[in-house]
Structure 1
Amino acid sequence: MLEIRPTCENCNKKLPFDAEDAMICTFECTFCKSCVETILQHVCPNCGGDFVKRPIRPKHLLEKYPVSSTVVFKPVDIEAHKALLKKLNV
């Protein structure tokens, strides 16, 4: 089951369970669509994988399967990410 993390790891924008602009990688690293498109160029800075739109957990299941309240805030090191993009030929 997905954690449904509450914020963008880079900019700390709130991404509630029903956010239309939440994106995740295969390890559930969570970023807003704006950061994915403009800063990350669709490459996860943590694993090098790509992103997909995070699914929305149905509201009626939130009590039984609550979303995470743990904030992961680690702004991207832009120079390190540029090096990763170059290594991946992106």
Structure 2
Amino acid sequence: MLEMRPDCESCGKDLPADKSGALICSFECTFCESCNDDRLRGSCPNCDGSLTVRPIRSADLLAKYPASTDRKYQC
């Protein structure tokens, strides 16, 4: 099951699991669309894997399987 990380690892932007706008690699490194468009260009800076659109988790499934609260952004 996807961890559904709560923020962009590059800029810290909030990325709610029930909204679009997040991209992930196969290791679940998570980035926002803006960082991808501006710098990443579809490639994860951590593992060099490709970034793909993260699926949205519905509210009923979030209640049963909550998203992670562990923020990865490092100031």
Match of 2:37 in 1: 37
Please give the root-mean-square deviation of Cα atoms over the aligned residues, in Å.
1.1
Q: Return the alpha-carbon distance in structure 2 between the equivalents of residues 42 and 20 of structure 1.
A: 16
Unaligned runs of 5+ in 1: 76-90
- Residue 25 of structure 1 corresponds to which residue in structure 2? 25
Equivalent residue of 1:63, what SS? helix
Amino acid of the structure 2 residue aligned with 1:73: Y
SS in 1 for 2:40: coil
Contact 2:42 2:52 in 1 (8 A): no
**What is the TM-score with the length of structure 1 in the denominator?**
0.78
Distance in structure 1 (CA, Å) of the matches to 2:14 and 2:4: 12
Q: CA deviation at 1:19?
A: 2.4
Cα distance, 1:62 vs structure 2: 1.2
Q: Aligned residues: percent identity?
A: 52
1:41, distance to aligned residue in structure 2 (A): 1.5
Who is 1:83 aligned against? none
Which residue of structure 2 lines up, in the alignment, with residue 55 of structure 1? Answer: 55
> Tell me, which stretches of 5 or more residues in structure 2 are unaligned?
none
TM-score normalized with structure 2 length: 0.93
**C-alpha deviations, 1:56-82, integer Å up to 9, x for none?**
01111112101000000147xxxxxxx
Higher relative CO (Cα under 8 Å, sequence separation at least 6) belongs to: 2
